[in-house]
Amino acid sequence: MARVAVVTGGTRGIGEAISIALRDAGMSVAANYGGNDEKARAFTERTGIRAFKWDVGDHDACIAGIAEVEGELGPVDVLVNNAGITRDGTMKRMTRQAWDEVLDVNLGGCFNMAKAVWDGMNGRKFGRIVNIGSINGQAGQYGQVNYAAAKSGIHGFTKALAQEGARAGITVNAIAPGYIDTEMVAAVPEDVLAKIVARIPVGRLGKAEEIARAVLFLCGEEAGFITGSTLSINGGQHMY
């Protein structure tokens, strides 16, 4: 039986590349998305991968979403917590709402989704969870106290959950991407982005497929001894 994978934020950017990579490896993939129906429809037309809409920041919606996916595709073996948003601004300008939104989706989403699949994975004694952190959770980033805190939280969440899952055959790992060529990074002001790219030793932005390749590696049947690790993929920008 094909493994069933759920990729949050799986219809765009890094998530789209992950959904495609897992599908190409023979998995049955459900791509979750939060809001953009038009992009999700285009994604499904392009790839044939089904898209499921719910807000990962909403705990009850995650429980219901996983129940729907499991009803259609079968028990979830692989969870990729990729959904993330930015609400950048310096501390002086940042609102409490911008803090809450980023924490709820980027970090709360990891808890909500893991909670929704946890009992099933424990019962079946197999699971692969990959959380997408960020270089900015490792190193910090001017204008991102909310995002850096959430992504840093993901790295702690990963190490704690890895310990809880180990005996049940559930691995929990994180990837910390650097600046990848996606819409999220394209939203950074041009002059600011140029300065950031100038600090990347490899000399360019990363590609979404370069992250997807590592996710696939961590989700493999043969990856059972890799747990609690963080893989930095950032063109040498930050060596951690």
One of 142, 147, 179, 240 is an active-site residue; which one?
A: 147
Tokens representing residue 235 in the block: 């063109």
Mask for 106-135, x = binds ligand CAA (CB under 6 A): ----------------------------xx
Please answer whether residues 131 and 87 qualify as being in contact, where contact means their C-beta atoms are separated by less than 8 angstroms: no
- Classify residue 51 as exposed, middle or buried by CB count within 10 Å of its CB (0-12, 13-18, 19+): buried
Q: Binding residue for ligand CAA (CB under 6 A) from 46, 60, 115, 142?
A: 142
Tell me which residues in 3-62 interact with ligand CAA (CB under 6 A). none
Region of 64-72, 167-175, 184-192, 213-221 interacting with ligand CAA (CB under 6 A)? 184-192
Among 11, 32, 81, 86, binds ligand CAA (CB under 6 A): 86
User: Would you call 147 a catalytic residue per the annotation?
Assistant: yes
Please say whether the beta carbons of 126 and 76 come within 8 A. Answer: no
**Environment class of 176 (CB within 10 Å of its CB; exposed 0-12, middle 13-18, buried 19+):** buried
Residues 154-183 that bind ligand CAA (CB under 6 A): 179
Distance CA(93)–CA(189), nearest Å, equals 17
Total residues belonging to the chain: 240
CB of 81 to ligand CAA, least distance (A): 14
Cα first-last separation, the chain? 38
Q: 90 vs 163, which CB is nearer to ligand CAA?
A: 90
* Binding status of residue 228 toward ligand CAA by CB under 6 A: no
In contact, 64 and 52? CB cutoff 8 Å: no
- Where in 185-214 is the site for ligand CAA (CB under 6 A)? 185, 188-189, 192
Q: Which residue has the tokens 């979830």?
A: 76
* Residues noted as catalytic: 147
The site for ligand CAA (CB under 6 A) is made up of: 86, 88-90, 93, 134-136, 141-144, 147, 179, 184-185, 188-189, 192
